[in-house]
Amino acid sequence: MRFHFHISFTGLCQHNNLYCLQQLSGEASMANIEVIETSPNSFSVTVHGSHITTHQVSVKPDYAGQLLDATHNASELVAASFQFLLDRESNTSILRSFDLSVIERYFPEYPKAINRYLK
């Protein structure tokens, strides 16, 4: 399943398989994030910013369940997580392959902050 996330000032909106997510600051303000579910719980993420990068991300269902409410899915969580990361580092600094739970090792505020990115 392919999800395309484009950073804009429209907030979270859905148009068929397109999602728009709001972001104001940092690298994310210029980023275009494409999330493709490659298999259950695995995603390929392409970030089109000043440089194009591709990342392989796994999401354990139990971990996603701790972070998500019923109104969002794992693809949206991955896209929001990349927005979170892009507010803190460039896309070229983001690990190329990782499990989503690794983010909180580097950024302990991630579990509490991610809800702001999902709104």
Tell which wins on pLDDT, 118 or 31: 118
| Digit-coded pLDDT (tens) for 84-97 | 999 999 999 999 99
Instruction: Kindly report the average pLDDT of the chain as a whole number.
Output: 83
Query: What pLDDT was estimated at residue 14?
Result: 41
pTM of the model as a whole: 0.78
Residue 75 and residue 1 in contact, taking contact as beta carbons nearer than 8 Å: yes
Give 3-14 pLDDT, tens digit per residue: 555 443 333 434
Token pair for residue 113?
């902050």
Helices (H), 47-109: 61-67, 74-86, 103-106
Which residue did the predictor score with more confidence, 98 or 28? 98
Q: Please give the pLDDT value at position 31.
A: 80
Domain ranges of the chain: 2-118
